[in-house]
Amino acid sequence: DGGITQSPKYLFRKEGQNVTLSCEQNLNHDAMYWYRQDPGQGLRLIYYSQIVNDFQKGDIAEGYSVSREKKESFPLTVTSAQKNPTAFYLCASTPDRSHGYTFGSGTRLTVV
Amino acid sequence: GENVEQHPSTLSVQEGDSAVIKCTYSDSASNYFPWYKQELGKRPQLIIDIRSNVGEKKDQRIAVTLNKTAKHFSLHITETQPEDSAVYFCAATGNQFYFGTGTSLTVIP
């Protein structure tokens, strides 16, 4: 998947349940990002990390949490506090802001 | 922070015609402007980019122009083909990438 792998591809969450989406990259990129995409909509930034052990909230961080314990990994947890989590989630990485993102293939999360 | 506006939101062209998508940005410090193509259900993929020290860049049927003074940049697709049908996103870099809201392009055979 072009060096950045998201899993699973499809995920179903029950009401009140926390779920974690995986994002792994072998591109040696410092910066990693999580975006949410709703049908017919653009990309909204959830969280981003520019270096290991550091991350910042994006525009819609409420109900989500992340960690960056390793350079290669940036998992996203969708908590029960996120009331409308059904969406397509995209992880991306870049070596720096003067280069484009490489996106993962996405995880489609559905609440059942 | 940066604010990126993208127009139009939808665009339909006849096969063989040209398509133009325009974006404006607000932060004069932005210096890198990529364009992404997203096919239905798939991830966005970088198709072309331009840096602030360049006014125009071409790659086969795709070109991007940048006007730093006016703070706008445009994507031009010539001789459109049905496989060009997708959603296109522009972006500008400040402290992070700021994306436009996307343009759904349909090329009619």
Cβ distance A98 to B42 less than 8 Å, yes or no, reads no
Question: With an 8 Å Cβ cutoff, is B33 touching chain A?
Answer: no
Question: With an 8 Å Cβ cutoff, is B31 touching chain A?
Answer: yes
pLDDT at A15 > cutoff 70 = yes
- The pLDDT tens digits of the residues spanning A66-85 come to 999 999 999 999 999 888 99
Question: What pLDDT is stored for residue A2 in this prediction?
Answer: 53
* CA distances, A17 to each of A13, A34, A78, B16, B45 (Å): 6, 20, 8, 50, 32
b/e burial code for range A26-65 (CB count within 10 A of at least 16 → b): eeebebbbbbbbeeeebbebbbbbbeeeebeebeebeebb
- The pLDDT tens digits of the residues spanning B49-92 come to 999 888 999 999 999 999 999 999 999 999 999 999 999 999 99
Question: What pLDDT is stored for residue A53 in this prediction?
Answer: 95
SS3 A81: coil
Residue of B nearest to A96 (CA): B96
Which residue among A94, A100, A104 places its CB closest to the CB of B43?
A104
Cβ distance A105 to B43 less than 8 Å, yes or no, reads yes
What's the mean pLDDT when you consider all of chain A?
A: 93
CA-nearest of B52, B72, B73 to B64 is B73
- With tokens 């990485």, the residue in question is A93
